Chain A
Amino acid sequence: MSVETVKSIDGIRFSVWSPAEIRKYSVAEITAPETYDEEGSPVHGGLMDGHLGVLEPGQRCLTCNKTTAECPGHFGRIELSEPVMHIAFINHIHRLLQSMCRICSRLKVPQDVLDEFLRVRNKHAAYALISQKKIPDQIVDRARKAKECPHCGAPQQDLLFTKPTTFVEKTEDEENRLLPGNIRDRFVKITDNDLVLLGYDPSTARPEWFILQALPVPPVTVRPSIILETGIRSEDDLTHKLVDIIRVNQRLKESKEAGTPPLIVQDLIDLLQYHSTTYFDNEVSGIPQAHHRSGRPLKTLTQRLKGKEGRFRGSLSGKRVDFSSRTVISPDPNLDLSEVGVPESVATKLTIPEVVTEWNIEKIKRLVINGPDKYPGVNYIMRPDMIKIRLDFVEDRSGIADNIEVGYMVERHLSDGDVVMFNRQPSLHQMSIMAHYVKVLPGKTFRLHPSVCPPYNADFDGDEMNLHVPQSEEARAEAILLMQVQDQLISPRYGGPIIGGLRDFISGSYLLTKNDTMLHRDEFSNLAMLGGYDGKLPEPVSNGSDEPMYTGKQLFSLFLPKDFNYTMTSKWSKGTSGVEKDIVIKNGQLIQGVIDKSAIGAEEPESVLHRLAKDYDNATAKKFLNSVLIIVKQFITHYGFSYGYGDLVIPEERRLSILGDIDDSYSKVDSFMQSYRDGTFAPSRGMSRKESLEAKIVNELSKARDSAGNAADKAMDEANPARIMATTGARGSSLNIGQMAGALGQQSRRGTRLDVGYNNRALPHFTQHDENPDAHGFVRANYRDGLSTLEFFFHAMGGREGLVDTAVRTQQSGYMQRRLINALEHIRLEYDNTVRDPHGHIIQFLYGEDGIDVAKSDHGEAFNIERKIESQRMVDSGRPATKAQIKKILEKYTKTFNPRLKDAVVNAVQNSNLSNAGIERVCREGLELYNKAMVEPGQAVGIVTAQSIGEPGTQMTLRTFHFAGIRERNVTLGLPRLIELVDARKNPNTPTMDIYLDEELSTSREAAISVAKNIMQTRLIDVILDTETDYSTWIRFTLNEKMMNVRDITVDDIVEVLSSSKKFQIETSPMQLLLRLTEESDTSSVITIRDKIKKTIVKGIANVGRVTLVQKDNKWIIQTTGSNLSKVLTVAGVANTHVRTNNVFEIAETLGIEAARNSLIYEIHSTLEDQGLEVDVRYIMLVADLMCAQGHMQQIGRHGVAGTKDSVLARAAFEITVPTIAHAALAGEVEHLRGVTENVIVGSNIPIGSGTVDLYMHVNKKREESSQH
């Protein structure tokens, strides 16, 4: 691009305008409340004064004489007749008033203490940085409490602050209102040194400037007036507010001059303060909002900046772009994976600039003749003298075409093969925007291959997608190098494929590759050609008949590389309990096994597709997938694959036996109920009788549903399309089949059966306390037979919960994603392999501790050594290498490997029995792959991390199931738990511990129980039967002997605990405690004492509620609800090294920051794993390291990582916009523009990824070189 001079912003300093500055920048004093006069021209000295800038084109600014396009607008001012406080600084004003002397305006802290603080502050020692940050708070805390000034000795008064803007000083006999003027007078006297200690930069912000004497009036361009269709002028909200201020100001001035009573003047001052306050912020609590005439609250300055649609998030961080398009999407399996079908109507609007050269001049002339309306054509022509011609207005296009010469530029229509970026919101991960190649098609929708739906998370129920056309060569090159669909086959989240076959492609490939599929020669060659095969036809399989026949497996094999060897287990084989490793591919031939989801499916690691992408390259994998998908599509279309009611019919006797089985279950449930009523029902461990009854019923009913489902499933043969779809992984599961043809089963809400709602019944159609499972939402019907009305209603109840769940959780996970992105966006990999923020703070010394990029890894590993050896073995020849040879090779190649990889390689190679040359080759290739898999400097590791953790958050919403009962501990799982962890909450929702025991105790249940008794918290109330109180002198507790024995507590234990209190004397008699109060008291204090005593912990550890014993690997483990790590570690018999708690904060307190980091990794990892979501540990490690980098746990959010960012703009753009900026101004902070958000806001390059580097060319050198040749 030909850009003359581009000035780059070095930094932005924030400061507070002094009255002097306000007046200096002001071009006009605004005094008139009127805006326009009768003729419609701006009033001189009014809010629309011509000096403040120009709004309408053609006019010229009275200040700078420029037009609308050039004049930036100029500030004016209102001279306030009384000073008012700036609402954004009100808390700072409060803090200052609190901490300084009311007479001498010094900080109310002795000079020697101030000196000490100043010494710490000025200490250049790096280790003081945390203590330096705390100085202002410490000073304020101390100063606030001073009763008299340590400097001048003046007595201090209490300060009352009534929000939003009233300060009152209170002495014993009077209350004295502090007016802005008084406050200002005090602030003027504050010394610079004191301000520095409070974190102010006195050169950019003196506190007296927080009190406004002159109010800046923003230029008219900031608050343009609009003319409605009716011809009425409508003013901006800010203008309205300024008018209010001017009016009151005027009245105040007049009243003061006229000598009006002070009370009335005070009212006017308050009114002026109110209007100025709402001018800055119309959402201040404690005062009424200012409203427009229509009743709508005014949108004033703070409202303009704040929130999602505010300036920062709505206009600066997110900008509207040209060269983009949005429409509905629809599928087209005939497209290439990397293509996008673009409607002609879109292609004629979106253009690509193309420079005319001698090679394309003929083509371009033809395009110009077509013009803007006929596809393919040209919309604009740019002459070398930079004059742009719009072809819509050109009559004689062929004339213009003739004039076109080399060096012209045209904006031509989008055409086949152009690179575009395709996107679907929400853009949760990098695969949400990919580069596609244009295919211009008729129709009005964007077309995409169904197999690229998973990365976009798109379907065709009305989804819309966006398309962006890169305009420069640089942008196109980047799109091709980084964003092509084929390079996004492997998800950086777990290093496995995310794109692959789905739905009918899976059923089709199964039908194609199953053993009895035979193809005629013409069918075979047609399909082969369709897949792009142009080699020789393979040998047909003789099947006895004359006609040569081919197998489907042969067809599939045509598209495999000839040296590809692989064996794996298909889903089909697993589903039909077939053999392991049934798929065998030898030298590119599928010898046996069927191809299904596990071989070519999306989101299936270790599949054939994954192996092709890793062992060959992305292009090979994409070509393979493309070919296979197109032939499968063609094959299944001709083969025929449908599904209907008839496929669900099962024999009548089967149906009856299913119903019979359910009846059996019902009678079992009945017998449980009976035994419960008899009292013969034995509860299971850790549950009350009622809970275990419910658990047992639920269990029995779920068995009934399963057996009905299985029976239905068995009734269908292997060729049943539903079974094909379920077992190949194309769609649905056997659960779905069971629900369609067997029984629907128990409907639930919140994980429990449906029971309450209408007085002890689920619906008014049942009698109260009906125990029949039918009355509690068990649906014995299936979808095929149809549901009864009541069953249908129960089903809808369950269904509603699902919908609500999804809606609620998407919001939660969206916010979590935003916080993660904000905390991590600026983190990148540096050239020394460290992970740092742009201010140089190190987060990790080596990315992921091994420097491997997950996106380039093989399912999280640098390379798969076993797989390498396996494929070498197929071709290996010669004697196995000697030990010495192996050692030598290993030494040569594994030097740079990390310990774990080295161990893996050494072990694998030593047991491989390969020849010397074979081992050499394996190791050499391994090293090559290892080097290739390293992360590259500049990589946006932070963003990828945030996406990899945030994106599965949205999936959790859909994959969360409530398993009824059985679980002994109720712990928070899934998304809420993940949010809790990244929040670094002090008190998690469900704290729990896993306490392991010392080796010698762990095998004995009795020993475990006795340890558990010392851990479980026992309060007095837990071991008393009865309390008797004389409400003035004594309290008597009758103890529960049984409970005391269970908890292993003696009367003496209790006496010992209680004896520390001086309030009473204890008299004991067997199983009774009599507490005699030392002082006679009134009723209420006796009750207080009694209740307090009842809550006294007599044994065990505070906060540890229930304990349960669990046997794991032959060892007894104590699981608790409630957590208290530091105390548990002191209990005898506990294996201290193995005590676990899920309260990460507690670990940070008792075991240190490194332990907290480890625990955080463990907790996040198991939370995700529990949901069946695969996320590489490296990402979790990075988040944990970031959260622990400052020595304490920081949350991912406004109170932690995102809130302590160095960049003012980034913080303001995240949350709490206005206070952030106010603080930055008083501290004189400088924005250095090193991160991501900041640079987006100012519109410059983002220093991440390809933005970290720039491309330069020594033009002169190049010329010299070329002239020499």
Chain B
Amino acid sequence: MVPDHEYVPIHEIMTKEEAQAVLDKYNCTPTELPLIYVTDPAIVGLGVRPGDMIRILRKSPTAGESIYYRYVVDV
């Protein structure tokens, strides 16, 4: 379901523990994270629910690869 395209990086759902670890690491609340809609084409196939957190493995022109997190929100 996830579109196969060079622009779309890998999106993964994180477990509750992983998500909490990220929040602890950055000492922030979920709403302070960048957001992604549940309806985003890149994650609709993953079976996400609002409140989940997504880990995105980006290809980076500066670092080679980098990780970004987004918090799934209702539309």
Answer whether residue B17 sits at the interface, using C-beta atoms and an 8 A cutoff.
Answer: no
B62 close to A1191 (CB less than 8 A) = no
**Cβ contact within 8 Å between B62 and A129:** no
Residues of B within 8 A of A1183 (CB): none
Residue pair B63, A1191 in contact (C-beta under 8 Å): no
**Could you tell me if B74 and A842 are in contact, using CB atoms closer than 8 angstroms?**
no
Contact of B3 among A130, A834, A1152 (CB under 8 A): A1152
Question: A131 — nearest CB in chain B belongs to which residue?
Answer: B74
State whether A1191 touches B36 (Cβ < 8 A): yes
- Name the one of A126, A849, A850 contacting B71, with C-beta atoms under 8 angstroms: A126
Which of A128, A902, A1158 contacts B74, CB < 8 Å? A128
**Contact between B64 and A1155, CB atoms less than 8 A apart:** no
Which residues of the other chain, B, contact A355 by a CB distance below 8 angstroms? Answer: none
* Interface residue stretch chosen among A512-520, A649-657, A1132-1140, A1216-1224: A1132-1140
A125 and B51 form a contact (CB under 8 A)? yes
For A846, what are the chain B residues with a Cβ–Cβ distance below 8 Å?
63, 66
Mark contacts of A1140-1183 with chain B using CB atoms, 8 A cut-off: 1 yes-contact digit, 0 otherwise. Answer: 00000001011111111011000000000000000001100100
Given contacts A849-B63, A1177-B61, is CB(A1188)–CB(B34) below 8 Å?
A: yes
What distance in Å separates the Cβ of A912 from its nearest Cβ neighbour in chain B? 21
A126 pairs with B62, CB closer than 8 A: no
Contacts of A48 in B (CB 8 A): none
A1128: shortest Cβ distance to chain B, in Å?
Answer: 12
**The one of B3, B70, B72 that contacts A1155, using a Cβ cutoff of 8 Å:** B3
Which chain A positions have C-beta within 8 A of B11? 1152, 1154
Chain A positions within 8 Å of B30 at CB level: 126-127
Hey, which chain B residues are within 8 Å of A1152, CB to CB?
3, 8, 11, 36, 40-43
Indicate if A848 sits at the interface (CB-CB under 8 A): yes
Within 8 Å of chain B (Cβ to Cβ): is A375? no
| Chain B 9-26 residues near chain A, CB threshold 8 A | 9, 11, 25-26
0/1 interface trace, chain B 37-67, chain A, CB 8 Å (1 if under):
1001111000000110000101011111111
With A843-B34, A1147-B7, A1154-B8 given, is the CB distance from A832 to B66 under 8 Å?
no
CA gap between A903 and B60 in the complex, in Å: 14
Q: Which chain A residues border B42 with CB–CB below 8 Å? A: 1151-1155
- B32 contacts A842, C-beta separation under 8 Å: yes
Q: Is the CB of A841 within 8 A of B5?
A: no
Number of interface residues of B (CB under 8 A): 45
Q: Are A899's CB and B65's CB within 8 A?
A: yes
Q: Mark A1190-1219, 1 if CB is under 8 A from B, else 0.
A: 111000000000000000000000000000
Given A832-B26, A1152-B42, A1155-B3; A1177-B62 close (CB under 8 Å): yes
Q: Which residue from A843, A848, A1158 sits with its C-beta under 8 Å from B9?
A: A1158
Q: Contacts A843-B34, A900-B64, A1191-B35; is A1138 near B6 (CB within 8 Å)?
A: yes
A1181, B34: Cα distance in complex, Å = 14
**B residues near A126, Cβ cutoff 8 Å:** 29-31, 51, 71, 73
User: How far does the alpha carbon of A1129 sit from the alpha carbon of B28 in the complex, in Å?
Assistant: 39
Interface membership of A852, Cβ < 8 A: yes
The answer, among B8, B36, B37, B68, for a CB contact under 8 Å with A845, is B68
Query: Which residues from chain A contact B71 at a C-beta distance below 8 Å?
Result: 126-127
Are B5 and A1189 in contact, CB atoms less than 8 angstroms apart? no
Q: A840 at the A/B interface (Cβ < 8 Å)?
A: yes
Q: Are A1191 and B28 in contact (CB under 8 A)?
A: no
Nearest B residue (CB) for A857: B62
The residues of B that contact A1185 with a CB separation of less than 8 Å are 34
A1151→B5 contact, CB < 8 A: yes
How big is chain A's contact interface, by range?
35 or more
Enumerate chain B residues within 8 angstroms of A427, measured Cβ to Cβ.
Answer: none
Q: Is the CB of A842 within 8 A of B34?
A: yes
List A contacts of B25 (CB < 8 A). 832
B-facing residues in A414-472 (Cβ within 8 Å): none
Cβ of B60 and Cβ of A900 under 8 Å apart?
Answer: yes
Q: Is the CB of B27 within 8 A of A1154?
A: no
Which one, B62, B63, B74, contacts A130 given CB within 8 A?
B74
**Smallest Cβ-Cβ distance to A1177: which chain B residue:** B61
In whole Å, how far is B21's beta carbon from the nearest beta carbon of chain A?
A: 13
Cβ of A360 within 8 Å of any chain B Cβ, yes or no, is no
Does A898 touch B at the CB level, under 8 Å?
A: yes
> Is the Cβ of B63 less than 8 Å from the Cβ of A845?
no
Query: Does A1137 contact B6, Cβ atoms closer than 8 Å?
Result: yes
CA distance A1159 to B7 in the complex (A): 7
Residues of A within 8 A of B63 (CB): 846, 849-850, 898-901
When chains A and B are docked, how far (Å) is the Cα of A655 from the Cα of B73?
74
Give chain A residues whose Cβ lies under 8 Å from the Cβ of B6: 1137-1138
Residues of chain A from 870 to 928 with CB closer than 8 A to chain B in the complex: 898-903
The answer, among B32, B58, B62, for a CB contact under 8 Å with A848, is: B62
Cross-interface CB contact of A1191 among B8, B29, B70, cutoff 8 Å: B70
A127 contact from B9, B32, B50, B58, Cβ within 8 A: B50
A129 adjacent to B64 (CB under 8 Å): no
A843 to B26, CA, bound (A): 12
List chain B residues, Cβ under 8 A from A842. Answer: 26, 28, 32-34
B56/A1136 in contact, CB under 8 A? no
- Report Cα–Cα, A899/B58, bound state, in Å: 12
Which chain B positions have C-beta within 8 A of A1155?
Answer: 3, 5, 7-8, 42
The answer, among A839, A845, A1137, A1190, for a CB contact under 8 Å with B5, is A1137
- Chain B residue numbers with a CB within 8 Å of A1129 are 3
Question: Which of these, B8, B26, B64, B67, contacts A834 with CB under 8 Å?
Answer: B26
Verify A849–B37 contact, CB threshold 8 A.
Answer: no
Q: Is the CB of B62 within 8 A of A900?
A: yes
A1103, chain B: closest CB distance, angstroms = 19
Interface contact A130-B60, CB-CB below 8 Å? no
What is the distance, in angstroms, from B26's C-beta to the closest C-beta of chain A? 6
B31, B35, B64: the one within 8 Å of A903 (CB) = B64
Q: Give the residues in chain A near B69, CB-CB below 8 Å.
A: 845
Instruction: Enumerate A76-133 residues with CB–CB distance to B below 8 Å.
Output: 125-131
A1181 to B58 Cα, complex, angstroms: 12
Instruction: Tell me if B62 and A850 are in contact (CB < 8 A).
Output: yes
Q: Nearest-CB distance from B23 to chain A (Å)? A: 10
One of A130, A852, A902, A1139 near B35 (C-beta < 8 A):
A130
Tell me, in angstroms, the Cα distance from A832 to B26 when the chains sit together.
Answer: 7
With CB as the reference atom, state the residue of chain A lying closest to B11. A1154
**Contact between B31 and A129, CB atoms less than 8 A apart:** yes
Q: Which residue, of B11, B62, B65, B74, has the highest number of chain A Cβ atoms within 10 A?
A: B62
Chain B residue numbers with a CB within 8 Å of A849 are 58, 60, 62-63, 66
Measured between beta carbons, the chain B residues less than 8 angstroms from A1136 are 3-5
A901: chain B residues within 8 A (beta carbon): 63-64
A1190 to chain B: which residues have CB within 8 Å? 34-35
Q: Which of B8, B27, B62, B70 contacts A1151 (CB 8 A)?
A: B8
B65 to chain A, nearest CB (A): 6
Q: How far is the CB of B2 from chain A (nearest CB, A)?
A: 9
Nearest CB in chain B: distance from A575 CB, A: 32
> Are B41's CB and A1178's CB within 8 A?
no
A1185 to B5, CA, bound (A): 19
Report the bound CA distance from A1190 to B29 in whole Å: 15
* B54 CB, nearest partner CB in chain A, Å: 9
Complex contacts, A841 vs chain B, CB 8 Å: 31-32
With CB as the reference atom, state the residue of chain A lying closest to B9.
A1154
Cβ contacts A to B, 22 pairs, < 8 Å: A127-B73, A128-B74, A129-B73, A130-B74, A131-B75, A832-B27, A841-B32, A842-B33, A845-B67, A899-B65, A1136-B4, A1136-B5, A1138-B5, A1149-B41, A1151-B3, A1151-B8, A1152-B41, A1153-B42, A1154-B9, A1154-B11, A1177-B61, A1181-B61
Closest 8 CB pairs of A and B: A1152-B42, A900-B64, A899-B64, A898-B63, A127-B50, A1155-B7, A850-B63, A1191-B35
Beyond the given A845-B69, A1154-B11, please list 9 additional residue pairs across the A-B interface where CB-CB is below 8 A.
A842-B32, A845-B68, A846-B63, A849-B62, A849-B66, A900-B60, A1152-B8, A1152-B42, A1185-B34
- Interface residues of chain B, those whose CB is within 8 Å of chain A, are 3-9, 11, 25-37, 40-43, 50-51, 56, 58, 60-75
